[in-house]
Amino acid sequence: MLMLSPLHIPPHLVIMVNGIIGSSADWRYGAEQFLKKLPDEVIVHRN
């Protein structure tokens, strides 16, 4: 888990929402790729 200092707020928020038939687990791979590519630049929320 990445721990950020309280003074650093990532400039981007990505909210991933599944459709009627789906779950937040369906977005896990995409969220991991965002965090891998831009660890200090993005917050990812899966719903």
More confident residue, 40 or 2: 40
- On whether residue 7 sits in a domain, the answer given is no
In the predicted model, is pLDDT for residue 10 greater than 80?
A: yes
- On whether residue 42 sits in a domain, the answer given is yes
Residue-level pLDDT at 47:
82
For the stretch 16-43, pLDDT in tens is: 888 888 888 888 888 999 899 998 899 9
Token pair for residue 19?
Answer: 């459709």
- On whether residue 19 sits in a domain, the answer given is yes
Domain with 20, as residue range(s), is: 12-46
The Cα–Cα gap between 12 and 41 comes to: 6
Instruction: Taking the CA atoms of 20, 46, 38 and 9 in sequence, report the sign of the dihedral they define.
Output: positive
Number of independent structural domains in the chain: 1
- On whether residue 3 sits in a domain, the answer given is no
The Cα–Cα gap between 30 and 38 comes to: 12
Residue 6 confidence class, pLDDT cut points 50, 70, 90: low
- On whether residue 5 sits in a domain, the answer given is no
- On whether residue 37 sits in a domain, the answer given is yes
Residue 1: how many CB atoms within 10 A of its CB? Answer: 2
- On whether residue 29 sits in a domain, the answer given is yes
